[in-house]
Amino acid sequence: MGSIDILWVTLCAGLVFLMQAGFLCLETGFTRSKNSVNVAVKNLTDFCVSSIIFWAIGFGFMFGVSYEGWIGTSSFFIDHSKTDWSYATFFIFQLMFCGAAVTIISGSVAERMKFSSYIILTVLISGLVYPVAGHWSWATLFDGDTNGFLADRGFYDFAGSTVVHSIGGWAALAALLIIGPRLGRFTDSHLHSSFIPSSMPIAGLGTIFLFIGWLGFNGGSTLAWNDQVGLILVNTLLSGTAGAVSAGVLGFGVSNRLDAGQFMNGCLGGLVAVTAGVNLYSSPLAVLVGFIGGMVVFSFEELLEFFQIDDAVGAIPVHLGAGIWGTLAVGLYGDLELLGSGLDRISQIGAQLLGIGTYGLWGFGVTYLVLNTINKVHTLRVTAVHERMGLNLSEHGIKSIETPPELTDVKERTI
């Protein structure tokens, strides 16, 4: 990297870091006030823990010398006093991506997962699931000499619709199937109960922070200040806004009102969707991809309701649903000449489907297997008493206005 490239990627890493604040605001705003402290501290904790784990082993699994395109075998416990500026910059940027993949899960499992269980999940995703998955597509991003096995087959994901977002979504789905819905969330096979969010304005602020951070997420993925940056930033903006509009219009058509949460998540769905091929689309195509992404988010939300899967903030519709769509859209609409895989349109669609399926098996399968095994010896979920009390009090000793008075003196701990 030249000096201007290093400056650009460093700036973008800072913008991606801002997404942590976005996730924190979005998730605390969507969830109940008696759990807001727990949700907030989990977002800070998962970044701190994942940073250490990614530095120690994750980065090596992702970008180390490749073992036949499957896993990295070097660059563990890197001493950056012995690396150059460009290498440290690349590490920081990739660390932010790892943090984003992990914190996607935080909102989904909110209000019922033990703090200690969430730390275990953070270590699993940042140390194994995400970096190994990243190696398959991005092994050569920084002076690598061996492609990951999916990249060798033509799979393309520019900035992580699948590598980051779908991996987080698949892991969240696995966790939710193990820990189950919040108490009172579903009353029978068809009816459901909605909980009062603590602050939709704070959730809206979080959405804006995420939108700003996404400019760094996509723009910095060039790893250079080049002539692609302008188009990437424009396409990111257009797709995010198109996703918000489509989810808002679709929701209005169904319920005759604008659902604020759906509107926000539609915006994020548009951003997730365009991320895989943002550098390959004309601006009209970016709008189309984002518009459909918002519709996918709405549809996935309805699907989760039908199957009574309780995603507290809608992370699975946004990151898994729109991530799958955005990855497939590369094969459907991406400029094949710019993509440079050498595949025709049908073969490129096949490569994208291969990647979607492979990441689904890995992200969901490994997470479910490990968490289900742990759950048999260390229950992942808090007790019913603590859930009704609220995790602010039961996990951190902090009372809130929603804490039932009759439960405030309960001493049982879950950590």
β-pair partners for 186: 192
Q: Is the dihedral of CA 205, 211, 212, 216 positive or negative?
A: positive
pLDDT tens digits, 34-53:
999 999 999 999 999 999 99
Average pLDDT over residues 143-157: 89
Domains recognised in the chain with CATH numbers: 3-375 (1.10.3430.10)
Model confidence at 191: pLDDT above 90:
no
Tell me the CB-side half-sphere exposure of residue 221, using CA atoms within 13 A: 24
pLDDT tens-digit readout, 304-359:
999 999 999 999 999 999 999 999 999 999 999 999 999 999 999 999 999 999 99
Q: How far is CA 177 from CA 39, 116, 125, 315, 378, in A?
A: 20, 18, 17, 14, 16
User: What does the pLDDT read at residue 1?
Assistant: 79
**Cα dihedral 140, 141, 142, 145 in deg (nearest 10):** 10
The 10s digit of each residue's pLDDT in 209-259 is 999 999 999 999 999 999 999 999 999 999 999 999 999 999 888 888 889
Residues 158-187 have pLDDT tens digits of 999 999 999 999 999 999 999 999 998 887
Query: Mean pLDDT score of the chain, rounded to an integer?
Result: 93
Q: CA quadruple 329, 335, 339, 340: dihedral positive or negative?
A: positive
- pLDDT higher than 80, residue 393: yes
Q: Which amino acid is it at 156?
A: Y
For residue 415, name the pLDDT band (cuts at 50, 70, 90): very low
Confidence of residue 2 (pLDDT cuts 50, 70, 90): confident
SS3 381: strand
pLDDT at 199: 93
Whole-number Å distance between alpha carbons of 173 and 190: 20
Contact in structure between 172 and 309 (CB atoms under 8 Å): no
Q: Decide: pTM greater than 0.85.
A: yes
Higher model confidence: residue 379 or residue 408? Answer: 379
